[in-house]
Structure 1
Amino acid sequence: MAKITYIEHNGTKHEVDVPTGLTVMEGARDNNIPGIEADCGGACACSTCHVYVDPAWVEKLPAKDDMEEDMLDFAYEPDPARSRLTCQIKVSDDLDGLVVQMPEKQI
Structure 2
Amino acid sequence: MPNVNFRHRDGSIDVVDAPLGSSLMSAAIKHPVDGIIAECGGNAMCATCHVYVDAAFGDRLPPMAEEEDEMLDGTASARTERSRLSCQIVVTEEMAGMTVDVPADQV
Q: Structure 2-normalised TM-score?
A: 0.95
Q: Provide the secondary structure at the position in 1 that maps to 2:17.
A: strand
Alignment of 1:12-91 (within 5 A): 12-75=12-75, 76-79=77-80, 81-91=81-91
Q: Provide the secondary structure at the position in 1 that maps to 2:84.
A: strand
2:4 equivalent in structure 1:
4
- Alignment deviations for residues 29-82 of structure 1 (CA, whole Å, 9 cap, x no partner): 000110110000000001100010011111221110100000000112010x10
- Alignment deviations for residues 7-49 of structure 1 (CA, whole Å, 9 cap, x no partner): 1122110112111111100010000110110000000001100
Structure 2 unaligned residues grouped into runs of 5+: none
Structure 1 unaligned residues grouped into runs of 5+: none
- Report percent identity of matched pairs: 39
Stretches (4+) displaced over 2 A? none
Q: Structure 1-normalised TM-score?
A: 0.95
Q: Provide the secondary structure at the position in 2 that maps to 1:25.
A: helix
Q: Distance in 1 between matches of 2:70 and 2:82?
A: 15
Q: Distance in 2 between matches of 1:28 and 1:9?
A: 16
